Structure 1
Amino acid sequence: MNGPTESVPDGRYPRPGAEAPLVVFDFDHTLYDGDSGSHLFAWLIKRRRWRTLLALLIAPLFAPLIAFLPTRRFGVSGFVWAGSVGTHRTGGFNAAIDLYVVTHAEKIRDRLLPIALDVLHGHRERGDRVVIATGAPPELARAILAFVAHEDVPVIGTLVGPRFGGIGALRHCHNQMKMTMLREAGFGEPIAMAYSDSSADLPLLLAAQRPVVVNPKAGRVPMFRRVLPAGTPILNWGCADRAGDPV
């Protein structure tokens, strides 16, 4: 599922109107304690010994690329490919994601942040338009929210597709590209509120009328205070190894 998932009307919440405030949530380290994509890719790679060996062989080339914004997509693509080589269709990759979520539901549930889900519930109860914009594959965030958290909201994520006998990232939902993909999916400005942990989401946070930084790395806090509007909340929603004012 490579585009935004369509939300199904949920009787628990009012249907948002076209003029309802738009609220954007990042996923990793915002709703989920950790990097959901890394957890998925590690599982995919470890399922077969030969894939583990393949990942070890390519690690010296691809792992360093993940540390730098301009090359991150290429680094991530290498490990997505190692975990999916032999899978020739996106549908097969999405089926593997769904299997991962079903078989790891308890561990995943423990990583979902209760405070974050309460905030998400609150926006939906008020009738806001809520969308998830994540660097993870959209099927992963969708499956976690639907199967584990019982939330059905639109998801924008990294587009994946067939590449060199496996699956690779075709369009990374990251940094300025996240804004582009939100607009293309019909979630353009104005953005009423945005929640994210990441400095890579500065374009999103700066576009929001009310940005909220959650669970940032401690070393990034001074930068957020410098570039975001005065008084921007910098909160910790339950990530023990992250900074922010406790809630």
Structure 2
Amino acid sequence: MSDAYPPPRADARLVVFDFDHTLYDGDSGSHLFAWLIKRNPLRLAAAVLATPLLGPLVAMLPTRRRGISGYVWIATFGLRGARQFNRIIDQYVHRHEADIRSRLLPQALAVFKAHRDAGDRVVVATGAPPELAREILRFVAQHEVPVIGSLVGPRAGAMIATRHCHNEEKMRMLRERGYGDIDISYTDSSADLPLLLAARSPVVVNPKPGKVDFFRRVLPAGTPILNWGCVERGGDKPG
């Protein structure tokens, strides 16, 4: 399927897409870890007991990584390494194909495809595990696009996030892979402000309604703030 797209031009623009709430309606990593927790009564009980501690950590940007790592540890207790974790991800994606397909946003995928048709260099940078985004994109023949995501590793009998592709760390991870000179970026999240500010042409898509004014204040005048089909999110509907 990769032959359907021209190779990037010599002068190709670098275009970076976030994944959750940008190409996918929802938080794909949370959906995966919730499934892992709910299918095991002991994990579910542990998550309920830990939520008074982990929930507030996830809600605050400076401590989000710690909170997410706690839930990931509960969800993956008993897994022995990244290879086994990736097999579980593949199993999850294919068991939930219909629901996942319904969450892929057609307007977003049309823009994604248009950039590839134009010969742009397209990269996905996501807070989700990269294998999860790759497997979901496989449904729409976009799996060969480079994906940079949060890294996990074994610790204390489970898996935890060792590097969270989020906020400034997302930009560091992009630069390390040679993707620092960004022409266009698409994301929903204020946590991705470093990504938006790094791009020559930032585009906000599907922001939380309460963040629209924030984006208008901190981004260049005229920055598009669009809604690509997330019903509960803000932004202008494309004409």
TM-score after normalising by structure 2? 0.97
1:140-151 alignment, distance < 5 Å: 140-146=132-138, 148-151=139-142
CA distance in 1 between counterparts of 2:52 and 2:154 reads 23
Paired letter, 2:206: N
* Selected match of 1:35 from 27, 41, 45: 27
> Which whole-Å deviations, capped at 9, do the CAs of 1:25-46 have from their partners, x for residues lacking one?
0000000001111100000111
Residue 238 (structure 1) aligns with: 229
Deviation of 1:18 (Å): 5.0
CA distance in 2 between counterparts of 1:122 and 1:163 reads 41
CA distance in 1 between counterparts of 2:12 and 2:152 reads 31
Over aligned residues, Cα RMSD in angstroms? Answer: 1.0
Paired letter, 2:16: V
Deviation of 1:17 (Å): 3.7
* Selected match of 2:220 from 198, 204, 229: 229
CA distance in 2 between counterparts of 1:143 and 1:161 reads 19
* Selected match of 1:50 from 32, 36, 42: 42
Paired letter, 1:153: V
1:209-228 alignment, distance < 5 Å: 209-228=200-219
CA distance in 1 between counterparts of 2:12 and 2:236 reads 29
CA 1:230 to 1:96, structure 2 compared with 1: closer, same or farther past 3 Å? Answer: same
> Which whole-Å deviations, capped at 9, do the CAs of 1:63-90 have from their partners, x for residues lacking one?
1100111100010011111110000111
Identity, % of aligned positions: 64
Residue 168 (structure 1) aligns with: 160
Structure 1 unaligned residues grouped into runs of 5+:
1-8
Deviation of 1:57 (Å): 1.9
* Selected match of 2:118 from 98, 107, 126: 126
Residue 92 (structure 2) aligns with: 100
Structure 2 unaligned residues grouped into runs of 5+:
none
Residue 185 (structure 1) aligns with: 177
Q: Report the 3-state secondary structure (helix = DSSP H, G, I; strand = E; otherwise coil) of the residue aligned with 2:153.
A: strand
CA distance in 1 between counterparts of 2:180 and 2:9 reads 15
Q: Report the 3-state secondary structure (helix = DSSP H, G, I; strand = E; otherwise coil) of the residue aligned with 1:188.
A: coil
TM-score after normalising by structure 1? 0.94
